[in-house]
Structure 1
Amino acid sequence: MSAACISRRNLPFLFLLYLLCLFFVANSDELQVLLNIKTALSNSNTNIFDSWESNNSICNFAGIACNLDGSVKEIELSKQHLTGLVPFDSICELQSLEKLSLGKNLLYGHVTEDLNMCVGLKYLDLGFNFFSGSFPDISSMNGLVYLYANASGFSGTFPWNSLENMTGLVGLSLGDNPFDRTPFPKELVKLTKLNWIYLTNCSIEGQIPKEIGNLSELIELELSQNYISGEIPVEITKLGKLWQLELYENNLTGTLPVGFGKLTSLEMFDASYNHLYGDLSELRFLNQLVSLQLAHNQFSGEIPQELGEFKRLVNVSLYGNNLKGSLPQKLGSWANFDFIDVSENFLTGPIPPEMCKKGTMTQLLMLQNNFTGGIPASYANCTTLTRFRVSKNSLTGVVPSGIWGLPNAEIIDIAMNELEGPITSDIEYAKSLAQLIVSNNRLSGKLPPEISKSSALILIDLGNNQFSGEIPTTIGELKQLSSLHLEDNILSGSIPVSLGFCGSLSDINMAHNSLSGEIPSSLGSLPALNSLNLSDNQLSGRIPARMSSLKLSLLDLTNNRLTGPIPKSLSVGAYNGSFAGNDGLCSKNIKYIRRCSSESGRSGKLNTLIVCFTMGAMAMLVSLGCFLYLKKSQKHHERSWKEDSWDVKSFHLLSFTEEEILDSVKQENLIGKGGSGNVYKVVLANGKQLAVKHIWNSHHSSSRKKLGSTTPMLTKRGGKSREFDAEVQTLSSIRHVNVVKLYCSITSEDSSLLVYEYLPNGSLWDRLHTNRKMVLDWETRYDIALGAAKGLEYLHHGCERPVIHRDVKSSNILLDEFLKPRIADFGLAKIDQANVSKDSTHVIAGTYGYIAPEYGYTIKVNEKSDVYSFGVVLMELVTGKRPIEPEYGENKDILNWVCSKMTSKESVLSLVDSTIPEAYKEEAIKVLKIAILCTSRLPVLRPTMRTVVHMLEDAEPCKLVGIKVTKDGGSEKDELRDKQQKI
């Protein structure tokens, strides 16, 4: 046989050998690419890379899928806790790669133009990471079907034109990134295969284009938290497949477009927090609705009765509109109904009785309407309810007994109605109840002793009812009780001694009852008590001497039958008027109270002579002082500021005068300077120390008035400054042990002064970072963290309207003589109100290093921004580092630095301040993990301050002495520690 024949016979074999060579060469190249990825990215929580070894087939690598020829088709590495810089230049060498999924990791750095080399990609997921810089041009990826890059830290201008030729694009998710403001991208309305658009919170402005109607395949359209204005275009009614429409927190106006009812596939509709108006008649056709959210608009008219027949509807939120008429009586009776909030409208008629028919309802919120009739008995069996609020209506009848015992209810609020009946013993089953608010009704009967079994109670407000009988002696078992209001009832008997065991009590009001007996001395041991009103009762006996230790902002014992001397510490000007109507009381200091009898005979005469001599001497001194003062005033009239007319507004009972404050505001008493003014230390004649803050306004540099060589220059104001108004508005109504106390404001045409309690240990910043630095042990740091958290929790959850501080930082956490913290400096604070315009809240306020990322790209700044800043403070406490340090690197802060160290247990422990003993480092890491949760990039992922307090309480440090040690050497808290090892 010839050589030519042999060659032809072997051609298939040689060709196969050639293909095998190419296969092995290609696999060798792809193996190297994957090993490069493994080297670049690290993780400590999963074993995803364990199989990525050179002696293993790449198709057996975890997260890798191959084509039939063995080439890499898919990389699936999402949710693997990966960190590092992604080597896109290497990845794009994988010629057959169609899917690259890196979402929900801790990846960072810039995404370079190398990504554009992945021309074969059909699926790209970079979402939920920590990238920086602009998103690159990806115009070469014409075959892309899914693009996910939401919540990844990209900024700048997104290259919308690079999407123009991606005609096969089906899913697009770019939301929650701080992009530059841009009009609605017209490129999108040409991509007619799109079925999901997620562009929430990415700075889109202008109007929704009419061409949106061309996207007939759309199933989900989410455009919330942007700057979109104008009306909802009528063309949106063409989107017959639309399942979810999210438009909340924009500036939309107008009515729901005619034909909106054609969207019969719509299940989720949220257009809350806009300026929409008109009626809701178009909704009557949307019988597939599951969730309807239209809160805080200006809708009027009646709620369509057809909603009562919607068999899938589970959520209804229509609060803060102008709706009238009655609710459909079958509303919520068909499906597993969850919640309703129709508060702050003008609704009438009865409460629909069957919203908890399926036993799944969690919230019933109907505050501030005109509902009539009784509370339906069916809700007494709704054990899933967590919030039951029907206050400020016209409800009548007896409250069903089971309402009092709802086991999961955190708040029962039926105040300001005409409801009747007793609080029943069922309340012992209300184990989750924190707030019981039933004031201003016609409730009656005795208070059940079983109320003490509701051990989570923080607030009890039973005021202005017809409750009778004695206050249960078991009330002292409520260890978390903070506020107790029983005023304006017909309660009798004595005040229980056990009340003094409620160590968290800060506010007690029992005025206008028929209480008798003595005031229990145990009240004097309540460390947090701030307000005590026992007026208009029949209390007798002496005022307990132990009450002298209380630091009360309000004390009212008027119109009782008290006798004996008023304790010396209470016989001060601060409590003038607190004792009137008690003929048996006497005092040596209070003028309108009869004087206590003194010894007779010589000693009495001698005392009289001494008093007369003293008064005469004082009169001479006063006269001399007045003469000198008048002489000096005439000589230096141009430098006098006391002649101004001063307006004093007190927020607590005062033990000082405005003159004492004005005399002390001088250069030698200056203790601090800030962006809004100076702070002075004032020492009163009685030794009490105060801090006085003068807030500058924008004109202080050009119109100041000299006050002499020892007096600071005060502002010539044409009206109060914004900082002054914010601070007074916020602090004047706040009563909390962890929020700085504002005694009063003193204002004139020329100046504004705020008078605070003085905190001798300065700020947390001072104690951690400056020349006033001190070694703080871990237990002290923990106590500071928990106390500050409780102060913020009160601001967010304990006020009638949430107070957003907006400048939480360690220098605004002040420390008293025992290093207990106070939240201070409310010059940037905002009280959350429904009618505040969005522009007014879109101000980048705060301090670099503490500012939450959403300040740069959203108009919705809420309590979660404070949570972020507090997370930074927690990191300071754990690490001892400043928020910004050179060692973090350029454009890096403490959060980046901490995250970069989360690679191994050793590196994590190295984050803890070296001054903290080894025995406490594990405890400190618990708090660090809470800090990381608080500083999540997405506000929705951050816990509330209430949750932060609970987490910190769970992270209470073990005591080095007294821990019960098990046989294997562990402690009883090891299990809790193990549960918190993972973030």
Structure 2
Amino acid sequence: MMGLRIQVFLLSVWFQFSVIAATTDPRDFGVLQSLRNGWQNTPPTWRSQDPCSNWDGIECVDSRVTSITLSSIGLTGQLSSDITALSELQILDLSYNTELTGTLPPSIGDLKKLTNLILIGCSFHGPIPDSIGSLPQLFYLSINLNKFSGPIPPSIGNLSRLFWLDLADNQLSGQIPVSDGTSSGLDMLVNTEHFHLGNNQLSGEIPDKLFNSDMALKHVLFENNSLTGMIPSSLGLAKKLEVIRFDRNSITGPVPRTLSNLTSIQQLFLSNNKLNGSIPSLAGMNFLSYLDTSNNSFNASEVPLWFSSLLSLTTLIMENTQLQGQVPSVLFSLPNLQTVVFKNNNLSGTLNISTSNSNQLQSIDLRNNSISDFPGSAGAGGINITLDANPICEVSGEVKAYCMKSQSNSSYSTPLNNCQRVSCGSGQISSPTCKCAYPYTGILNFRAPSFSDLENTTYYTTLEGSLTQSFQSHQLPVDSVSLSNPRKNLIEYLQLSLEIFPSGQDHFNWTGISSLGFALSNQTYKPPRGFEPYFFFANPYPNFAGDSTGSNKSTSIGIIIGAAVGGSVLLFLLLLAGVYAYRQKRKAERATDQNQNPFASWDPNKNNGSIPQVKGTRSFSFEELSKYSNKFSDDIGSGGYGKVYRGTLPTGEQIAIKRAQQGSMQGGLEFKTEIELLSRVHHKNVVRLLGFCFQQGEQMLIYDFVPNGSLKDNLSGKSGMRLDWTRRLKIALGAARGLAYLHELADPPIIHRDVKSTNILLDEQLNARVADFGLSKLLFDSEKSHVTTQVKGTLGYLDPEYYMTNQLTEKSDVYSFGVMMLELITARSPIERGKNIVREMKMAINKEKDLYSLSELIDPNIGLGTTLKGFEQFVDLAMKCVEESGADRPTMSEVVKKIENILELAGLNPNAESATTSATYEEASKGNFHHPYSNEAFVYSGSFVSPKIEPH
């Protein structure tokens, strides 16, 4: 009791002196303390006393907090409803903190002075609260790239000052709300210039009431939803529109004639719908640069001659739109034309491009038409012309270049600025000005670029210059920027990898990162014309320059005086409380250790509640593993998680010890959960967990040692083995059986989430063993259909449906397995020199010819020249596994049955054990090889690609 009185007295005295010393309003100070206690990874300055004077990311006016900008700093936790007590708050930007989760508090509507609410690229979920429509000053609302679900609140229509509305890349459903006399709707947002609602699950018709002549709308982006009905004729009333994306929906009917009223349109995407009727006339759209009407059901017609009047046109894409007749040569006279795609139509006659006066024309794709003559082929210059699957390419004799499929491959990277690149260490990167530093990185996404020539470096140098100029003009500490790897994603966003290098030092500090993040999330940076609209997705920044408590903000006199007086009083009080504090410290240490270490009170000889619920798995001490591994001297692999060591148990059994490094360790409870997961898995085609170690600050997992490397090593030749067709079939069957067990017999079922050739190991008899459960997810009864989760997996193997929807199912593993089947056939990586193996196979397959005409893609080591029994059936199964829609893919148990049938067709018993040796096995090199536990693959996490960091 005495100790409690001392505590209360100490707190009251300290609070009084804190208030005297601080310049922050006490009400706001309490709220910020609550936020600090609920978040992890806050800046070091948040340990100091006065937020308005010292805390990074906090801005104040007259002692009241007006701005919180904390993007890209790795915050974890939830957004407490306490924040709504900051009555003077105007700006809240928590973007690019992917571990910020939970729901948006309904009391968010109490922030009556909020102008900017920016939560891009976090993991918030649940419905958008209706109270968000009670923010009368809101100007920017950007909550894209989260997991918000449910309908769009009609109350958003009350936000009369709203300029920017971005709800894209969530899981929103239901109809687009419009006012009806009793409730608000988006039609009331007459001052809003941006409707970004793409990549959701919106359904129903686009309401005719949505658009009106009073609107300031410039961008309407509804791409990749489930919208139906017709394009509303009222769209033609919004005459300021510049960008429209209605593509990838189920919109029907004819395109309304009122569309021709939109003479300011620059980019128009109508592809992948069910539009019918006549191709709409767009004559008069003098600023139109990008037009895509592909994959619709328009009436059969010739290529309209009015196209030749669109002098700004760079890109014309009309794939599968029932075009017929001859391509008018006048089309190629457009001065800015870069790309023409008319593939999969009924065009015929002669292709004549002799009238071309565009020095920008790069690509003409007329595959799968009826073109019979191309007299100007010799003068085509550097234009990439593709006429594959036309009569002109069916003539025997010399194969013309324009008859071969071609792939555009842009590998742009910012050139050096008149200097020589330096070699950097410790994870640093050389900048364009040849300085080693830790850059701020991420992906720039352009939702509707006005150009299609990704090899034109002029666009990127212009973009680099505007980025650097913008950052430096806003006094941000930027030395230079680097752009690289331009590419299009599945929904035609142009993506560029961005690196921003610091000025004056090799790191950014906390304030610098938050300021840069805000410049990109708040659209402070304005890109050159043709690049808008855009959004940025940042990688977490782990390389802050020291503990930035030495802020530029001046220390107030009040703090100094308060600290001096308070220190004197506290010294006396602390002497009185010394004995009590010492006793409480020991008690607290025991409690903390128990909380952080769920194994702390585990007595292996007792049925203790904290013991992991495991079967056949034991706890090893650190000393035991050090002894078994000869003090961790036999390093056999490494990856983002740490290293793997070979060890030998006293019984002579060899083991693999996977030892996490400090930066990649999980929390104790998560580590315990993973052990419980792995201990449930018992199948001959799954690597077995033998035990674990959680001592002396270490996290280690102990597995069976699998001696013959990964499937990847054996396909690439690193192991010295040659796998023939029979052996590859058996490996595919073993891996399929392991995955089918995880999906259907494990309790609860397990989705692996990272199926790939490096995670299929081969034992002594070359039997396949599924390994590496670092990204796996349990599928509980309430989640039988799917798990909504942040996208993770390896680039090239990643299920496109999972990527698009964030909904993980067993069919995501099936897609990855299908990619691996193609790898078994070709021995090629899923993405190699910019080419995707799935796309390459789809384009190359000809079922009318032997081996489906795939001889050039087949790995020669497979046994070409011998009969590959069941090959075509194996290819058919692989292509079924990589269908775009998960519903069209088989289950893993169905895959198992199919491969068993293929083996029987090849005259083999699918249930026979592998022989201890084989011709190919005996050829294996006895030397060293790249061990399966090493992982240098690249893994997708969130919306960017980064080196894999495994959680154990």
Common topology (TM > 0.5): no
Task: With a CA cutoff of 8 Å and minimum separation of 6, indicate the structure with the bigger relative contact order.
Answer: 2
TM-score bracket for the superposition, by shorter chain length:
0.3 to 0.5
Which protein has the larger Cα radius of gyration, Structure 1 or Structure 2?
A: 1
TM-score normalised by L of structure 1: 0.43
